[in-house]
């Protein structure tokens, strides 16, 4: 479980995060949503320790990140898997080398064991016969799968994804969402996803945190988001005509009018 | 950001770079890769330039020594001195600053803008140590080898120029290059080379590591890195010469 308390983060005069608090539970997929510029990426990077907050606390399973020693922080990082928006695969390394990198860095396993583990996670993300390919030879969806494989190869306790299905076609995006959801259930990990994809919200949003102008405007589940009266949320989530109709139909059905 | 801040940030970066590598096996792999990328692949251009510069220095010296009172063997002597003291270590280092410096900045800068450096940091890896230390060691220990070869090829270039142009005899040239050989000059040149190699590895790394933006900014950072590396090499050349030779 990750508990965030009153996080503030500024860059120069720009106050980006203005006191956000949230809880991300173990075994659940939590989504952070919000418009571009709402502070989602800064928030997730602050959770990861890439940015240091000026104020507030982040607790990983009850242990405050601020009070951790350097060794504890290093150990924590080994338990974190991250899928970046652009996949962030190492260009000069093959798929297998990319996935194997954390194992080589942090374990003393023999090469054969590492290869077995790499093949097993690549199979888990439905990516076979791609071990010797370079990232530039893969499609966007395949790159995301490799990034997920690299993120889970060390059996992480926490999985973070920054817009995992941006730039993907709707079908591939849903496959990636489902894959993340399955992995979260299977490994019982705490998953936090940064997205503004409404399909993801409807498909896998067990918990949703809506950010607006650096503040938490709303949180709830993907069922609650249908009935919320929060105007900022409804304006954001139901900005398309299609979703407006879906919501209207849902509310009418809920009231027994259809 | 002003110059003082940049200098402070550069030395803070070095503080992170000079830490014990987290995994020796990975570090050795990276070191050998850098030896190939930054060292081995620079050998050809350095040899080519040194050979022709040696030829040009010998021809120009011969053309300026038209007084019959000046012995012809001084052409070989002057060529040897010029190449060992200045052309091989400084000229070749400035060329390498362009070739290797832009490569280092663009490769690290691309890693920065595509979040590959963030990926390393999230894994708990000291990205500066992981990316920059192998580059420093590869250049500092390989470039003296490149410069030694450049010295030899520069002097050989002068010999070949004499043969082809007939401006001086090869016998005089060989007499000249054997005259008053001072091993300290080679030592001086290699010390300079090691300092320049350090600059060639670290200044472009700094520009690449702290780049912000996209492809355009990476391109700008590469240009800036080459300019600043060349400037620092030229300035350090002056001070090192004053310290080591005067």
Inter-chain touch A77–B114, beta carbons under 8 Å: no
- pLDDT tens digits for range A56-102: 999 999 899 989 988 888 888 889 999 998 889 999 999 999 999 99
Whether B16 is in a domain gets the answer no
* B116/A91 Cβ within 8 A: yes
- Asked if residue B17 belongs to a domain, the reply is no
Whether A156 has its CB under 8 Å from any CB of chain B: the answer is: no
Beta strand pairing status for A55-60 and A2-11? antiparallel
Q: Closest chain A residue to B24 measured between Cα atoms?
A: A105
Residue of A nearest to B113 (CA): A88
Q: Pick from A78, A104, A160: which is nearest to B25 by CB?
A: A104
Token pair 């080994």 in the structure block, residue: A78
Among A49, A73, A88, the residue with its CB nearest the CB of B119 is A88
Question: A102 in contact with B at a CB cutoff of 8 Å?
Answer: yes
How do residues B13-52 score in pLDDT, each as one tens digit? Answer: 999 999 999 899 999 999 999 999 999 999 999 999 999 9
Adjacent-strand bridge partners of A55:
A8
Contact A82 B25 (CB under 8 A): no
Q: State whether A85 and B116 contact (CB < 8 Å).
A: no
Least confident of A113-117, A179-183, B32-36: A179-183
Please name the fold of domain A1-79+157-223.
Answer: Rossmann fold (3.40.50)
Domain count, chain B: 1
Report in angstroms the alpha-carbon separations of A144 from A131, A161, B121, B179.
14, 10, 19, 66
Query: A207: distance to nearest CA of chain B, Å?
Result: 24
- Tell me the chain A residues in contact with residue B23 when contact means C-beta distances shorter than 8 Å: 104-106
Mean pLDDT of A98-116: 93
Q: What percentage of residues in chain A have a pLDDT greater than 70?
A: 99
Residue A258, pLDDT score:
67
Average confidence (pLDDT) over A40-47: 91
Residue at B12 is within a domain? no
Nearest to A105 among B110, B115, B125 (CB): B125
Q: Do the chains contact at B26 and A90, CB–CB below 8 Å?
A: no
Whether residue B7 is contained in a domain is answered as: no
Tell if the pTM clears 0.80, that is, is over it: yes
Q: Does A86 touch chain B (CB under 8 A)?
A: yes
Residues of chain B with pLDDT under 50: none
CB contacts, 8 Å: B25 with chain A: 104
B23 interfaces chain A, CB cutoff of 8 Å: yes
B6 assigned to some structural domain: no
Those of residues 45-64 in B touching chain A at CB distance below 8 A are none
Whether residue B235 lies within 8 A of chain A, CB to CB, comes out as: no
Q: Pick from B5, B27, B113, B119 the residue to mutate for testing the A interface (most A CBs within 10 Å).
A: B119
Q: Determine, for residues A50 and B123 on separate chains, whether the beta-carbon distance falls below 8 Å.
A: no
Interface probe with B: pick from A51, A98, A105, most Cβ of B within 10 Å: A105
Q: Do B115 and A88 touch (CB under 8 A)?
A: yes
- Which value does ipTM take for this structure? 0.84
Average pLDDT over residues A174-184: 86
The fraction of chain A above a pLDDT of 90, given in percent, is 45
CATH 3.40.50.300 positions along chain A are: 1-79+157-223
Interchain contact, B119 vs A82, CB within 8 Å: yes
Report yes or no: A91 at the B interface, CB cutoff 8 Å: yes
Averaged pLDDT, A28-35: 90
Distance (Å) from the alpha carbon of A48 to chain B's nearest alpha carbon: 7
- A71 touching B (Cβ < 8 Å): no
> Is residue B8 in some structural domain?
no
Chain B residues 92-131 with a CB less than 8 Å from chain A? 110, 114-116, 118-119, 121-125
CA distance B198 to B202: 6
In a domain? residue B52: yes
Within a domain: B14: no
Measured distance CA(B103)–CA(B204) in Å, rounded: 8
**Residue labelled with tokens 């362009």:** B98
Helix (H), strand (E), coil (C) string for chain B: CCHHHHHHHHHHHHHHHCCCCCCHHHHHHHHHHHHHHHHHHHHHHHHHHHHHHHHHHHHHHHHHCCCCCCCCHHHHHHHHHHHHHHHHHHHHHHHHHHHHHHHHHHHHHHHHHCCHHHHHHHCCCCHHHHHHHHHHHHHHHHHHHHHHHHHHHHHHHHHHHHHHHCCCCHHHHHHHHHCCCCHHHHHHHHHHHHHHHHHHHHHHHHHHHCCCCCHHHHHHHHHHHHHHHHHHHHHHHHHHHHHHHC
Task: Collect all residues of chain B within an 8 Å Cβ-Cβ radius of residue A75.
Answer: 124
Q: What distance lies between CA B149 and its chain's CA centroid?
A: 13
Range of the domain at B151: 23-245
Residue of B107, B115, B130 for testing the chain A interface, max A β-carbons within 10 Å: B115
Per-residue pLDDT at B9: 95
Q: How far apart are CA B137 and CA B200, in angstroms?
A: 11
């Amino acid at each position: 479980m990750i508990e965030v308390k009153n996080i503030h983060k500024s860059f120069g005069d720009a106050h980006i995060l203005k006191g956000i608090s949230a809880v991300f539970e173990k075994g659940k997929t939590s989504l952070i949503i919000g418009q571009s510029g709402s502070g989602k990426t800064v928030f997730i990077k602050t959770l990861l320790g890439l940015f240091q907050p000026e104020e507030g606390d982040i607790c990983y399973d009850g242990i405050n990140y601020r009070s951790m020693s350097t060794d504890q922080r290093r150990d924590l990082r080994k338990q974190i898997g991250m899928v970046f928006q652009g996949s962030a695969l190492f260009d000069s390394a093959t798929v297998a080398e990319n996935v194997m990198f954390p194992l080589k860095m942090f374990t003393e396993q023999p090469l054969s064991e590492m290869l077995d583990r790499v093949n097993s996670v690549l199979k888990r993300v439905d990516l076979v016969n791609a071990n010797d390919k370079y990232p530039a030879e893969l499609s966007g969806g395949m790159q995301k799968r490799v990034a997920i494989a690299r993120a889970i190869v060390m059996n992480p306790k926490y999985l973070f994804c920054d817009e995992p299905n941006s730039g993907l076609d709707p079908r591939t995006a849903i496959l990636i969402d489902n894959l993340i959801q399955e992995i979260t259930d299977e490994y019982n990990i705490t998953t936090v996803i940064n997205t503004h994809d409404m399909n993801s919200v409807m498909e896998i949003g067990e918990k949703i945190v809506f950010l607006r102008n650096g503040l938490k405007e709303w949180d709830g589940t993907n069922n609650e988001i249908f009935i919320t009266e929060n105007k900022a949320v409804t304006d954001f989530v139901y900005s398309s005509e299609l979703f407006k109709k879906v919501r209207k139909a849902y509310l009418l059905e809920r009231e027994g009018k259809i | 950001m002003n110059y003082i801040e940049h200098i402070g940030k550069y030395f803070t970066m070095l503080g992170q770079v000079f830490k014990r590598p987290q995994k020796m096996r990975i570090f050795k792999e990276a070191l050998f890769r850098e030896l190939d990328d930054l060292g081995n692949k620079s050998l050809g251009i350095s040899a080519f330039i040194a050979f022709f510069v040696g030829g040009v220095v010998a021809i120009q010296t011969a053309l300026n020594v038209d007084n019959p009172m000046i012995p012809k063997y001084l052409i070989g002597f002057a060529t040897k001195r010029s190449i060992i003291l200045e052309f091989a270590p400084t000229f070749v280092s400035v060329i390498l600053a362009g070739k290797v410096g832009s490569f280092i900045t663009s490769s690290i800068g691309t890693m920065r803008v595509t979040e590959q450096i963030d990926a390393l940091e999230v894994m708990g890896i000291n990205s500066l140590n992981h990316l920059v230390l192998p580059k420093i060691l590869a250049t500092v220990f390989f470039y003296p080898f490149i410069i030694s070869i450049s010295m030899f090829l520069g002097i050989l270039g002068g010999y070949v120029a004499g043969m082809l142009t007939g401006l001086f005899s090869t016998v005089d040239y060989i007499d000249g290059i054997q005259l008053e050989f001072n091993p300290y000059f080679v030592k001086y040149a290699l010390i300079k080379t090691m300092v320049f190699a350090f600059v060639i590895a670290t200044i472009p790394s700094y520009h690449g590591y702290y780049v912000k933006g996209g492809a355009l900014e990476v391109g700008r950072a590469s240009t800036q890195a080459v300019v600043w590396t060349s400037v620092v090499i030229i300035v350090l050349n002056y001070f090192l010469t004053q310290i080591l030779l005067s």
